[in-house]
Amino acid sequence: MAVEQYRQYIRHLLSERAQRASRQTIAPEYVGARLLGRVNRPWVAPEVQTVFDTEQDHYQLLYVGWRGNKRDFGCVLHLDIKGGKIWIQHDGTEEGLANRLVEMGVPKEDIVLAFHEPEVRQFTGFGTGE
């Protein structure tokens, strides 16, 4: 498959995930978390950001904001395209983005689960990155 097609798939999946994440309801255990000696802020859903660097082929889904008095920042998904393959650097989803890519028609050998050690990748059923 062409790299441009991979870019489109990744942008679609990250945008879809961002829309779902921004519609999530507020979890009661996070409402009004009180920290010692600090003003109690109400829980506000974090901002969901997508990063599409099509020049360097880096793609991320981030959470940015506050949970009460605690800073909330984290990378939920991070994918790169290197050597014509999709490298999943981090996947913080339950369903697994690799499976979604396969459903879209990406061959398993073109998906590298980069969050696994290089020696382990040969046993994943996906690409090894070599």
Q: Give the residue extent of every domain in the chain.
A: 3-22+43-123
Residue 37 has pLDDT above 80, yes or no: no
The string of DSSP letters for 23-34 reads TPPPPGGGTT--
Mean pLDDT value of segment 81-94:
96
For the cut 80, the answer to whether the pLDDT of residue 55 exceeds it is yes
Give the pLDDT confidence score for residue 60 in this predicted structure.
98
pLDDT of 35 reads 45
Q: Which of 95, 93, 91, 128 lies closest to 110, judged by CA?
A: 128
Residues 50-74 have a mean pLDDT of 91
Q: With a threshold of 0.85, does the pTM exceed it? A: no
Range ranked top by mean pLDDT from 19-23, 64-68, 95-99:
95-99
Per CATH, domain 3-22+43-123 is 3.30.310.110: yes
DSSP letter for 58, please.
E
Output the pLDDT for position 40.
Answer: 60
Pairing relationship of beta strands 85-91 and 111-113 according to DSSP bridges: parallel
Ranked by mean pLDDT, the top range of 23-32, 65-74, 93-102 is 93-102
User: Is pLDDT above 60 for 28?
Assistant: no
**Structure-model confidence comparison of residues 99 and 33, the more confident one:** 99
